[in-house]
Each structure stands twice: as C-alpha cells, then as structure tokens.
Amino acid sequence: MMNGETIVFYLLAALTLVSALMAVTSRQIFRAAICLLLSLLGIAGIYFWLRYEFVAAVQIVVYAGGIAVLIIFSVFLTQRSGEDLPRQSRARMLSAAVAALTGLGLVMLQVLRHRFSGTTNPAIDNGVSAIGRRMLGVGEDGYALPFEVVSMLLLAAMIGCIVIAMRSKTKSS
C-alpha cells in the first residue's frame, strides 16, 4: 500500500541516491559539488520526514550552508575548474567501488540482522531544549564529554589554521 508518506520517502531517497551517484560519476567538478549538495539536502529532507527537525536544520546549516559552499569556493579557486576531469585509471575505480560496496555490505548486514519490531514506548522528546540538556548533561545519557572532546578537536584545527597562516606571512616579509 503506497500512501502519501511512503511516496515522499521514496522520492527523497531517489533524490539522495541519484544525486550521490551523479556526484561521483560527473566529470565536471562543479556539477559534482552541486550534486553532492542535492544529496545532502535529500538527507535533510529525510530527517524532516522523520520529524527530526532539529537534526534536519543542522544538516542544512552545516552541510549545505557550510561545507558545500566551502567546496564550491575551493572549486572556484582551482584553475581550469570548467574543464572535464581526467578519467580515472581502472584500478582506482575498481578499488573505490570495492570500498564503497564493502561499506554498503556492512551496513546492510546490520540492517538485515536487526529485527524491527513495533514498540509501545513513548517517542523520544526531540525538542531543542531536550537535545540541549542531553548534549551538555553529565548524567547517564549525557554527552558532555564527547561534546567537549569534539570541541577540543575543532580548537586544534583552528590553531593549526592560524599557525599555517602566520608562517606564510613571516616568510614573505
């Protein structure tokens, strides 16, 4: 039985998969970036479909608004971005395909093993305040430690950026 929700899900899934496939097969780098963006937006759409609005919005802010724009910017700054990319060697394509298929296989294995059953538990509260509390909570289901560790990683990356930028300046002067 196809009801509205299933149709929407399949449309979003098709958008995500097709544009992801086009992102890896397109030989124009800018088009590949746009396809990647569409694929990320499709995933955001699936989050919306699941009513995880917060995650969906964060997906759009971080991936579509941040990372995709950054990728497009670096495409702009590279030379000859309008030309076709050279065709990859057969060995490379093969190894990439094997890697991708292995990942897919592992995920499928888990999905097929898991027995999906209906539950009567109340739905998880996905309000923003609940997310915030868990993100900074130190109790049983709090994520304060991983959150802080990730922010340490970001800090390290930022310091690294500054160090790189500073060094090139002193050299030139």
Instruction: Please name which of 22, 18, 44 lies closest in space to residue 32, comparing C-alpha atoms.
Output: 22
DSSP classification of residue 125: -
- Which of these ranges, 8-16, 74-82, 138-146, 150-158, lies near another protein under the rule CB under 8 A? 74-82
- Neighbour count for residue 152 (Cβ, 10 Å): 10
| Residue 117 vs 129, nearer CB to another protein | 129
| Residue 6 vs 95, nearer CB to another protein | 6
40 binds another protein (CB under 8 A): no
Q: Read off the tokens for 1.
A: 């039985």
C-alpha to C-alpha distance for 172 and 41, rounded to whole angstroms: 42
Q: C-beta of 162: minimal distance to another protein in Å?
A: 14
Q: Which residues contact 71 (CB under 8 A, 6 or more apart)?
A: 33, 36
Binding site for another protein (CB under 8 A): 3-4, 28, 30-31, 34, 37, 41, 53-54, 57-58, 60-61, 64-66, 68-69, 72-73, 75-76, 81-82, 127-129
